[in-house]
Structure 1
């Protein structure tokens, strides 16, 4: 395979010596969770759960209605409100073939059923694609209770195994966002021209001591948009709003869309990149697929507030090179919004 676009980052990543599933199988129902996975901060946060419906419902977004002139103004306003208030929304009627989604879910489930040695997609030196952890982990840093498979699906020449990418309806979402923001759509789309799409498949084994581990540490996504597919029906996504954690209820057939750091910066803070995390179920595994859309590393525009928005006020974020931004994100050790906050002006 040709050298990865991530070679340009020159960031040290670690491979995963053993899968978390192996650890989970080893400790069973009576063993102790290894200290490096024990997360004391879970008990310090209050998770708000609506017992009436199983979790906090995200605002819905309907792609079909957005394309319908009779509904588009109202639906685009709802889209903007969701991006400003929550940074997340459920996307229904998204146009992805149901049969294709079911096949993807079946393939993913089958992959994680394989023995560890058969998941023959180990991360190469200085690479990012493969099975394992994908952030820099000092020895003292706690690990997440998750096995990850990371693949680059766009541009096509970067694909390592022919994995099918999501249909590019994210471009349509960007167009609707441009309308809501009152900016020229090419100004927004131009940042993502020749965009990079990558896929992270997450497997969270169950853990009888679920209150001691985290599936994914609290973080924001260092991208433009993230599209999340729930492979099975196990709930575990939580988002942080106003200092409290909210459990997100799964909506059958929907994708969960969230604003990433880059989109918050481009909108000069109007849209919010919200902290989120994954918690573990004591009895059932959880599997998700997240597709990330971001500018290519070759982008010359840089990551900074759109000029049209600056006509209405001062810049709240620095403008940085895409490579610099990406390198900084991957070395920030998944510490909530810390990296995004460091890019703010006057902070």
Structure 2
């Protein structure tokens, strides 16, 4: 029997080259050929938030609305984060992932090697219930609210990581609120409608990501296709390596960032609150044969006790609610359960 099992193993090794079989996606789910670049609008946050004396703010708001309605992604410049701080954030991320495996495992997000927790270090070298593994490493740390930070899970090496991340996240929180207010204004709601729904108790999770070069980018994903489950995501990618792709009308497009810009996308809690006018986009990360990729994402959610529902100001006889009400914590529980099955919990809430 052992001899009969050997040929299939050899075929897999021959097919995947240097990629272990547990990373290989099923044939129908593998990354497609080179994708076209996504013409995602670039928003000048300085102009967007300034008094509209010359029409500049209105112009940026129109670009933002177009981006939210079509892509769910947009790029921002003039965002108020110094390039030196962005460099420092990327440098401490790189230093952490360059640590020896045993040092990184001190902050593992698995308790007793089995029980998963949201914060901590994750390497996809671990087994995963029949699903192909992602070609990546991740470090997830909660940055908001401040009193909920698990500083025992924040690495000591590099020593500056804690201070740099806290300073960086303080800046991105300002950007979050600016974007939420701009979205409310675009939709004709009270400017603070979304900010008040998020509240100061909302969780924010920083995720540092490392995607090493991959010998067979056609077989694996750095991060499988997914939707973000919170309210808003702010992403910073090192250089112009690329890798991020967004789905639109059944076709995948490359999202190409520029140095010192930020990529922002709508997540599902916000889709519910805006009644689907600005949908959350599916996205994924593909690998690169020659280059490593580093990223820093801040995932902003809503208060766990907030009842997610379409904003009443967006509803009338011609525009009924598209989603049922759900408490944020119940929504997140549903998201995790459905994600393991490759399904979207938000689909169960559609009216």
Q: TM-score, normalised by structure 2?
A: 0.82
What is the aligned partner in structure 2 of residue 181 from structure 1? 187
Distance change in 2, residues 1:42/1:247 (3 Å): farther
What is the aligned partner in structure 2 of residue 252 from structure 1? 259
Offset of 1:222 from its aligned partner? 0.3
Find 1:105's aligned residue among 90, 107, 113.
Answer: 90
Distance change in 2, residues 1:193/1:44 (3 Å): closer
Offset of 1:337 from its aligned partner? 6.5
User: How many Å separate the matches in 1 of 2:332 and 2:85?
Assistant: 31
User: How many Å separate the matches in 1 of 2:280 and 2:40?
Assistant: 15
Give SS of 2:322's match.
coil
What is the aligned partner in structure 1 of residue 157 from structure 2? none
Offset of 1:198 from its aligned partner? 0.8
More helix by share: 2
Offset of 1:334 from its aligned partner? 6.1
Tell me, yes or no, if the aligned pair for 1:196 and 1:295 is still in contact at 8 Å.
yes
Distance change in 2, residues 1:233/1:156 (3 Å): same
Please state if 1:84 is matched with 2:69.
Answer: yes
Please tell me whether Structure 1 or Structure 2 has the larger radius of gyration of its CA atoms.
Answer: 2
Give SS of 1:331's match.
helix
Distance change in 2, residues 1:337/1:95 (3 Å): farther
User: How many Å separate the matches in 2 of 1:255 and 1:277?
Assistant: 17
User: How many Å separate the matches in 1 of 2:212 and 2:65?
Assistant: 35
Please state if 1:36 is matched with 2:22.
Answer: yes
Tell me, yes or no, if the aligned pair for 2:30 and 2:220 is still in contact at 8 Å.
no
Distance change in 2, residues 1:334/1:203 (3 Å): farther
Structure 2 alignment gaps of length 5 or more: 1-12, 155-161
What is the aligned partner in structure 1 of residue 4 from structure 2? none
Task: State the aligned residue count.
Answer: 309
Distance change in 2, residues 1:334/1:84 (3 Å): farther
Give SS of 2:206's match.
strand
Please state if 1:154 is matched with 2:144.
Answer: yes
Offset of 1:335 from its aligned partner? 6.6
Offset of 1:113 from its aligned partner? 0.7
Give SS of 1:287's match.
strand
Find 2:107's aligned residue among 88, 107, 121.
Answer: 121
Ranked by relative contact order (alpha carbons within 8 Å, sequence separation 6 or more), the top structure is: 1
Offset of 1:140 from its aligned partner? 1.2
Offset of 1:319 from its aligned partner? 1.1
User: How many Å separate the matches in 1 of 2:246 and 2:274?
Assistant: 21
Distance change in 2, residues 1:91/1:304 (3 Å): same
User: How many Å separate the matches in 1 of 2:70 and 2:275?
Assistant: 15
> Which 4+ runs in 1 deviate beyond 3 A?
41-47, 334-337
Q: TM-score, normalised by structure 1?
A: 0.83
Find 1:140's aligned residue among 115, 127, 130.
Answer: 130
Please state if 1:233 is matched with 2:240.
Answer: yes
